[in-house]
Structure 1
Amino acid sequence: MIRLRGWWGWPSRGQVANMQLASAFTWSDPLRKAPVAIRYIIATVTILAFFALRTLVGGWLGGYPFLLFFPAIILISVFLDRGTGVYAVVLSALLAWYFFIPTFNSFAMPQLEDAVPLALYVLVALFVAFVIEALRGTAERLVHTAEKLERTNEINRLLLVDVNHRVKNHLTSVASLLRLSVRQVDEPRARQAIENAVGRINVLGQVYARLHLGERATVVHSRDFIVSLCDDLRASVLGVRPIALRVKAADVALSSLQAVPIGLIINELVENALKYAFPGERNGDICVTFEAVGDDLVLTVHDDGVGYAGASKPGGGTRIIGSLVQQLGGRLDRDTASGTQVCVTLPRAPPEE
Structure 2
Amino acid sequence: MPVIKRPLLLFAGAIALVTAVTLGGLHLAPDRPWLLCIFMALAFTVIAGGAGRGPALAGIAIGALELAFVLPGDGFAVTDPDDALGLIATITLGLIAAWYVGRRNRQRDALAADLAAAHHAQERTAALLRELSHRLANDLAMLVSSTSLMRQSAATPEAIAALDSVASRIVVLSRVYQRLRIEEAERETVEIGAFLGNLCDDMRQSRFNLRPIALHLEIDECRLPLSQAVILGLITNELLTNIAKHAYPDDRPGTVGVRLRPHPFRPDAMQLSVADDGVGYAPPDGDGARMGQRLIAALASQLGGDIAITRREGQTIATLHFPVAGMR
Same fold flag (TM > 0.5): yes
Pick the aligned partner of 1:49 from 20, 26, 29.
Answer: 20
Kindly state the Cα deviation for residue 106 of structure 1 after the two structures are TM-superposed: 8.1
| Distance in structure 2 (CA, Å) of the matches to 1:331 and 1:50 | 80
Instruction: Tell whether the 8 Å contact from 1:217 to 1:255 is kept in structure 2 after alignment.
Output: no
Counterpart residue number, 2:305: 330
Q: Write out aligned runs for 1:75-224 (5 A).
A: 75-99=46-70, 103=72, 109-210=78-179, 211-214=181-184, 217-224=187-194
Kindly state the Cα deviation for residue 180 of structure 1 after the two structures are TM-superposed: 3.7
Instruction: Tell whether the 8 Å contact from 1:203 to 1:229 is kept in structure 2 after alignment.
Output: no
Counterpart residue number, 2:255: 285
Kindly state the Cα deviation for residue 321 of structure 1 after the two structures are TM-superposed: 1.9
Q: Deviations over 1:279-321 (max 9, x none)?
A: 5665433222234567544321101124335579993322322
AA in 2 matched with 1:335? T
Matched residue of 2:312: which SS?
coil
Structure 1 residues 186 and 199, CA gap change in structure 2 (3 angstroms): same
Range with greater deviation from structure 2 (114-123 or 221-230): 221-230
Pick the aligned partner of 1:268 from 230, 234, 238.
Answer: 238
Range with greater deviation from structure 2 (48-57 or 325-334): 48-57
Instruction: Tell whether the 8 Å contact from 1:254 to 1:350 is kept in structure 2 after alignment.
Output: no
Q: Deviations over 1:102-126 (max 9, x none)?
A: x489866334454233223222211
Q: Deviations over 1:61-118 (max 9, x none)?
A: 995542222332233334445343223123323444454x5x4898663344542332
AA in 2 matched with 1:161? R
Matched residue of 1:213: which SS?
helix
Unaligned runs of 5+ in 1: 1-29
RMSD of Structure 2 on Structure 1 (CA): 3.8
| Distance in structure 2 (CA, Å) of the matches to 1:107 and 1:334 | 96
Q: Deviations over 1:20-68 (max 9, x none)?
A: xxxxxxxxxx99x4364x5443222111233355457759x99554222
Matched residue of 2:177: which SS?
helix
| Distance in structure 2 (CA, Å) of the matches to 1:291 and 1:69 | 69
Matched residue of 1:128: which SS?
helix
Structure 1 residues 319 and 123, CA gap change in structure 2 (3 angstroms): same
Matched residue of 1:301: which SS?
strand
Structure 1 residues 63 and 333, CA gap change in structure 2 (3 angstroms): farther
Kindly state the Cα deviation for residue 342 of structure 1 after the two structures are TM-superposed: 1.3
Does residue 347 (structure 1) correspond to residue 319 (structure 2)? The answer is no
Kindly state the Cα deviation for residue 165 of structure 1 after the two structures are TM-superposed: 1.8
Matched residue of 1:307: which SS?
coil
> What fraction of aligned residue pairs are identical, expressed as a percent?
28
Instruction: Tell whether the 8 Å contact from 2:215 to 2:257 is kept in structure 1 after alignment.
Output: yes
Counterpart residue number, 1:10: none
Counterpart residue number, 1:26: none
Instruction: Tell whether the 8 Å contact from 2:41 to 2:91 is kept in structure 1 after alignment.
Output: no
Higher relative contact order (CA 8 A, sep 6+): 1
AA in 2 matched with 1:304? D
Kindly state the Cα deviation for residue 171 of structure 1 after the two structures are TM-superposed: 1.0
Q: Write out aligned runs for 1:240-259 (5 A).
A: 243-250=213-220, 252-259=222-229
Unaligned runs of 5+ in 2: none
Q: Deviations over 1:143-201 (max 9, x none)?
A: 33333332332222122112112211221232233234324335343333322222221
AA in 1 matched with 2:134? H
Range with greater deviation from structure 2 (225-234 or 154-163): 225-234
Give the paired residue count.
317
TM-score, length-scaled by structure 1: 0.73
Q: Write out aligned runs for 1:298-313 (5 A).
A: 298-310=271-283
